[in-house]
Amino acid sequence: MNNHLHYLNNMGITVWEQNSSRACSFTEGTTSPLSDWNALQQTVAACTACSLHQSRTQTVFGVGNRQAELLIIGEAPGFYEDQQGEPFVGRAGQLLNAMLQAIGMNRDLVYIANILKCRPPNNRDPLPEEVNLCTGFLEQQIALIQPKLLLAVGRIAAHYLLKTKSSLESLRGKLHRFGINQTPLLITYHPAYLLRNPIDKRKAFMDLQLTWRTLEELKFN
């Protein structure tokens, strides 16, 4: 089995077609000063703005390449993320890794961050007030990385970034824009949802192919 089929198999998908196998490259150019990153990371680590700081083991800042062309945005840390201080390290994270590998990417090429930096108790949905208080950090991460493309995984991230309550299904497959820089944004299913609803993995892979194609177009335009 070639690598591509192997990764799709890991995602639980049996037959897929891929455009080509290539790795996402880094953006050349200026890097945001380390001091900005350190200052932001320290601010996040010390944050007590909402009550989630009382139950967290640690904050979960983000991980990956600070010059990434693709920034993946999830919802909030779960149990394992809270323990390890890194986003998407549990079962959903393993599926996210397989999804990335299916389009020739990996965690070292992209940046991964969440809407919330602290774990909500019992993995409940983030409260609107928590989202309001926390998303300034994500916006600063976006400003530092200046990715070519954002990929929101799941309803919570999609609804925050697009300021909508529309169904995830209706938001997939379209290029949206986020923020003052009008950064291109795509939406797909959350890997935890896909673990519960494997039937939708095929649609998720279509979203990933669109992500890959969109990045290519953005690079050459």
Contacting residues toward ligand URA, per CB under 6 A: 74-78, 81, 87-88, 92, 114, 192
Nearer to ligand URA, 114 or 135 (CB): 114
Torsion sign, CA atoms 150, 155, 161, 163 = positive
CA dihedral 72, 2, 218, 185 (to 10 degrees): -30
Q: How many CB atoms are closer than 10 A to CB 167?
A: 10
Residue nearest to ligand URA (CB): 74
Residue whose CB is less far from ligand URA, 69 or 86:
86
Q: Considering beta carbons, is residue 95 or 210 the nearer one to ligand URA?
A: 95
Give the span between the Cα atoms of 22 and 212, in whole angstroms.
10
Least Å from the CB of residue 216 to ligand URA? 26
The DSSP letter of residue 27 is: P
| Partner residues linked to 185 by β-bridges | 150, 176
d(CA 97, CA 92): 9
Residue number, 148 or 155, with CB nearest to ligand URA: 155
Buried b vs exposed e over 114-125: b needs ≥16 C-beta within 10 Å?
Answer: bbbbbbbeeeee
Of 50 and 115, the one with the shorter C-beta distance to ligand URA is 115
Task: Give least dist CB 104 to ligand URA, A.
Answer: 22
- Angle, helix 155-162 to helix 128-145, in steps of 10 degrees: 80
State in angstroms the smallest separation of the CB of 221 from ligand URA: 30
Angle between helices 34-45 and 128-145 (to 10 degrees): 170
Minimum separation from the CB atom of position 34 to ligand URA (A): 24
CB 89 within 8 A of CB 80: yes
Minimum distance from residue 87 beta carbon to ligand URA (Å): 3
> 115 vs 215, which CB is nearer to ligand URA?
115
State in angstroms the smallest separation of the CB of 28 from ligand URA.
29
